Chains A and B, each alone.
Chain A
Amino acid sequence: MELVTPTIGLVFWTAVAFVCLLILLKKFAWKPILAAIHEREQSIDEALNKAELAKHEMARLTAQNEELMKEARAERDHILKEAKALKDSIVHEAKTQAHNEGAKLIEKAKIEIENQKKAALAELKSQVSTLSLEIAERVLRSQLEDKAKQQDLVANLLKDVELN
């Protein structure tokens, strides 16, 4: 029974000592320790939040870069395509034009040739007629140097001409 009976001395000293301990620890230990732990936890939390934000920002930037790259690539492809189309159209146009031009030139040349040919032919004709006239003149002159021959000729001509 003695074991389970509180004694006044120990009760008194425990109460005094415990209250002193509580006050001393509260003032000199728990307050600074808990405050420091709380502060550190907050700073860690803050740092983690910031890191998370930075991560998101990073992801956002990466996504943005990706988007930009994609856009740039699309732009490039578009430009290339346009350039190619333009080139094709230019080449085509040039070809067509050249073709047309050539055709026109050929046409012109043909006309020219035709003209030249006509002129040449005309000239040839006139020269041929002149020449033949001259030849005829000369032949006639040589033929008709004497009267006898002229007579002959007239006679032959007259022979040919049959009076029908």
Chain B
Amino acid sequence: MDCSHVFEFKVKRLIVVFALFLAFLSVSSGVFAQADTAVVSADTAVTAAHVEGAHGAGHGEKKFEPTKVIMEHIADSHMWHLWGHLSVPLPVILYTPAGVEFFSSGNFHHGEHDYTGSKNTYRLVEDKIKIVGADGQVDEAASSKILDFSITKNVAAMFVAIAVILIIFISVAGAYKKRVGKAPKGLQSFVEPIIIFVRDDIAKPNIGHKHAKFMPYLLTVFFFIWINNVLGLIPIFPGGANVTGNISLTFVLSLFTMIIVNINGNKYYWKHIFLPNVPFWLWPLMVVVEVVGVISKPFALMVRLFANITAGHIIVLSLISLIFIFKTLAIAPVSVAFVLFMDVLELLVAFLQAFIFTLLTALFIGMAVEEHH
């Protein structure tokens, strides 16, 4: 890995932010790791208990299981839970070997009923759609063949975020057209400094004079992550989904970054990977290291965003769960105070993660397009 570019970083304050971020990452990932092990160990027990009493137990006075609640929130879902027993059914789209199935997730009645579609009978198990065989049991072999393209909670929340982004920026663009050459006003003056920040503090120092070509991608990634992060912090309906804390989404974003970096890599970039400037007998080793570096950089982006946002959601939910674990209102003020603190922190993290993702993307692009004279 060529780290010299990182160390030669021109803007000092970015280094400071970067250091802060690393410090924060280590803290939050530590918390996450702890939470994760706890979750995993508890999860197995919970799953076992859940499976035992899943059918027929009904809606009795159930024991509160924080792990289950938290994991249900963190994971994706085929319905968008509002409150109590009320949830918004979302469309289910299945690609099965027999053909495409399209129906509403409301047909599952919160997983209590099976639904017989035109091709198969489906059952919702642990929020996964499975095919039920003729004998009334889940047919795992057939289930593994279906591809689930449903509009899940995360997809719907992402669409909401995209709608918000489009409304904001197309109206801002309209304002620019209407007020040519004048000072920004209203939403425009809120958005403009951020756009200029992305351009002057992220794109220009890292990419240099070729930054204009990459501005649309950097700006889109930045605002996409940021708006999704912020919407994820809103506890009520249109927000609250753990969109950016889902590995699928961060996987796609980092995949795009990897594609853009490697498509735009110039001959120096590729020479650096396949003919590194080291004694020839080190080449086998260095080429492997460099190739791993190509993949590990976006991989780190993927995990960083996912882990930070998921950790934030887990912490907030854990703090709220304290009230129900202790079964007393007396703990509520403490919980709320901590949640307030965490929410404010998450607001910072929401921005910081969008910033870091964009910054590192710009850095990688900059390393790929850099000219060596």
Contact = CB atoms under 8 A, between A and B. Distances in A.
* Interface size range of chain B in the complex: 35 or more
A6 B192 contact: no
Interface string B194-220: 011001000000000000100111011
B252 A18 contact: yes
Contacts of B75: 2-3
A39 B172 CA distance: 16
B152 interface: yes
B249 interface: yes
Contacts of B74: 3
B152 A10 contact: yes
Contacts of B247: 3-6
A18 B256 contact: yes
Interface string B138-156: 0000000001111110110
A33 B248 contact: no
B310 A3 contact: yes
A33 B172 contact: yes
A36 B195 CA distance: 12
A155 interface: no
Interface in B241-259: 246-249, 251-253, 255-256
Contact of A36 (B152, B158, B177): B177
A7 B195 contact: no
Nearest to B93: A9
16 contacts: A3-B36, A3-B310, A6-B248, A7-B148, A8-B148, A9-B148, A11-B248, A15-B255, A17-B162, A18-B253, A25-B166, A25-B216, A25-B220, A30-B219, A32-B176, A34-B195
> Chain A interface secondary structure, helix, strand, loop or mixed?
helix
A37 interface: yes
Contact of A25 (B147, B219, B256): B219
B170 A29 contact: yes
A7 B162 contact: no
B49 interface: no
B215 A9 contact: no
A40 B181 contact: yes
B165 A17 contact: no
Given A7-B248, A15-B252, A37-B192, A28 B149 contact: no
Interface string A38-55: 011001000000000000
B159 A17 contact: yes
Contacts of B152: 9-10
Contacts of B151: 13
B207 to A, nearest CB: 14
A26 B155 contact: no
